[in-house]
Amino acid sequence: MPQPPRLNAVALISPQNHPILIRTFQKGDELKYHYVAHTSLDVIEERTSGKTKPTECYLGLLYVMDDVAAYGYITPLKVKIVIALALTDSVVRDADVVMIFKALHMAFYEAVSNPFLKLDGVSESTADYSPYQAVGSMKWKRLRQAVDEIHRALCAYAP
């Protein structure tokens, strides 16, 4: 039985490429994972802008850098989810990764369905009605908790 992958960081990015939430589970490596999230956008764009549009949300392994494997996922509403898994020599099954993504997508979906979310997030410009707020803002407290919960569940699963 292969080990479930270790989750190092999660990034949720809005359709406008604004970061919604970047959560790092590695102390001291924040810069690295912010870079990972940011650079992943390039790869996601490559994957999604081709002639053949991906039919699935799951974009697979985006790239490997140093000891991190970045996987991408794009929701039907173009919210991008990037997770950084610790690189292992063993095979990472796509099903495992997709499961993590599904959980994150669901967490985001629930957070964004909160009808009171908009009350906090006052947008100045009328053009941008997106409820996606700046990274790390307090408004995503619930989402952050959910993401932490997913991470904890994965850690508990691993020996």
Partner 1 sequence: MANQHVLVTYTAAQSFQSSDNWIHFLAALRSLLPLRNLHWKPTSRPNLRTVQELDVSLVPLDSLRDEHTSQVPVTLLEKPLLNLYVLSCEDAETYKTTVKKQIKDWQTSVNQRKNQEWLIIHVVRPDSKNVDRKFFSMKGSVLDKIKGDFNIDKRDRCVQLPWSTGEQSPAVWADLIGKIKDGLLAAFDTAVLAREEEVKRSEGQRHMPGWNFCTYFILKESLASSFEGVNLFEDALQQYNELEATFMNVLGEKNMSWFGNLINPAPKDDSLPLLSPSKKSYRELILANTISIFDLRVYLLARQSMLLNKMQQPIEICRKAILFLSTFGKRLREVEMALPEYFVESWIFSSALSVVDQCDAWASSWPELEGIALARYNAIKGELLELAKSQLDILGVKVGHLPPKPPFLMALQTVSTTPSSPLPERNPSQRISKYEIMLAIGDIEAFYDLYCTISNRAIDAYVKAGRRKFALKLHGCLAALDNHRGRLSNALAIFSSLPAHYAPHMWTSLESFMLSHAIDTHAVLQKPRDREWIHLLLGFLKTYVNEPTSESLISHDINEYVTKLVTALREASEKLDSDLPHLDHPIMALEITKDTRCSQDEDLVYLTVLIHNRLPCDVHVDKIGVVLVGEDTTRLKFTAEFTKLVSGRNYLVLTCPTSSHGTYVHESVEIRIARLHFQWNRKSGGGAGDALTSRKHAIPVHLPRNPESLDVQLCLPPNTALGTTPKLHLTISSGRNDLATASVRLSAPAGVTFDFVNSELHSEGVGEIDTSEDGISIFNVPSNSNVIISVPHSDATRFRAIKIDVSITYKTVRDPALEWTLRTSRIVTVALPIAVNVEDFFRGERQVIPGLDSSVKLRTMFVTRLFSRFTISTTTQQHVRILSARLLSAPDAEQGAKIFGCHPSHSVMTAVPDRPVSYIFCIESDRGPVSDPLNLVISYRLLREEVEALVNKTVENALRQLSQESDVGTKLVQAIIEYLECDASWVELYNTTGELIIPSSLDVGEELEEAFSPVQKILSQPNPPSPSLGPWREMTIPVDVPKMNIVADAWIAIQPPPQTEELPRNQLPSIYAGQALSATVYITASLHWNDPENKRQRYRMRYDVEERTKDWLICGRKRGDFLVQDKSTFSVCLTLIALHHGHIELPKVEVKPLPLDGEEDVPKVLPSSDTHQSHGAETVLVLPRGGRSTFIVSMGTKRV
Nearer to partner 1, 72 or 102 (CB): 72
Provide the minimum distance between the beta carbon of 126 and partner 1 in the complex, in angstroms, as a whole number: 8
How far are the Cα atoms of 21, 23, 30, 52, 104 from residue 147, in angstroms, in the given order?
Answer: 10, 8, 16, 31, 7
Task: State the residues that interact with partner 1 by CB under 8 A.
Answer: 2, 16-19, 22, 24, 26, 28-32, 34-35, 38-39, 41-43, 46, 50-51, 63-67, 69, 87-91, 121-126, 128, 133-138
Provide the minimum distance between the beta carbon of 5 and partner 1 in the complex, in angstroms, as a whole number: 12
Q: Which residues contact 108 (CB under 8 A, 6 or more apart)?
A: 12, 20, 75, 79, 81, 143
Q: Three-state DSSP class for 103?
A: helix
Nearer to partner 1, 22 or 83 (CB): 22
Nearest CA to 154 among 4, 1, 48? Answer: 4
Q: CA 109: distance to chain centroid?
A: 12
Nearer to partner 1, 87 or 102 (CB): 87
Provide the minimum distance between the beta carbon of 14 and partner 1 in the complex, in angstroms, as a whole number: 9
